[in-house]
Structure 1
Amino acid sequence: MAPSIGRIVHYYETPTANPLAAIITAVWSMRCVNLAIFNPSGQAMSDPPTSVVLVGEAESPPTGGRFCTWPPRVE
């Protein structure tokens, strides 16, 4: 799936963290995006990281560091 501005992703600060809701705000490549990240109360992170790795559906997440994924499809 190709990233585009405005798409929703799940952001992980670490591989074992719970996901946070995020919106793609810039696309650098198919695997690198900037995000607006929201805490569970809906407040935006004041200084979000840039150049976050976007992990594809068939890829394994990194063993360390932050990343984002597409949310699972729920039917």
Structure 2
Amino acid sequence: MINPTVGRVVWFTPAHGDIRFDGYAAPFAAHVAYVWGPRCVNLMVILPNGSGVVGETSVTLIQDEDSKPGYGRYAEWMPYQVGQAKKHDAAPAA
């Protein structure tokens, strides 16, 4: 499990039918703005055209082998971050 911290970048998938994101393909880059816990965060979602951001509160953060909600509206770690965390966990302790 990767512990979320303020400022980390995640991918955000909006809820199906959320008109604020119509016309754009998910996922969206987002910064963690607040951490409620290891599976719940507030996000600052960056619009793909760079024109602004959208705030999202209490977003489920998918961890490890968690299932993705079928209705959308979740955040997940980027594959690079997952790979780095696995490398760190596998490294021998100094």
Query: TM-score surpassing 0.5?
Result: yes
Correspondence for 1:59: 66
Residue 19 of structure 1: CA displacement? 0.2
The 8 Å contact of residues 6 and 32 in structure 2, kept in 1 or not, is answered as: yes
Residue 22 of structure 1: CA displacement? 0.1
Q: Which has the higher helix share?
A: 2
The gaps in structure 1 that reach 5 residues or longer are: none
Correspondences of 1:1-75 after superposition (within 5 Å): 1-14=2-15, 18-46=26-54, 48-73=55-80
Runs of 4+ in structure 1 off by over 6 angstroms are: none
Instruction: Determine the C-alpha separation between the residues in 1 that align with 2:51 and 2:40.
Output: 23
Larger Rg: 2
Residue 39 of structure 1: CA displacement? 1.2
Identity, % of aligned pairs?
A: 37
Letter in 2 for 1:11: F
TM-score (norm 2): 0.68
Residue 9 of structure 1: CA displacement? 0.1
Secondary structure of 1:73 counterpart? helix
The gaps in structure 2 that reach 5 residues or longer are: 17-24, 84-94
TM-score (norm 1): 0.83
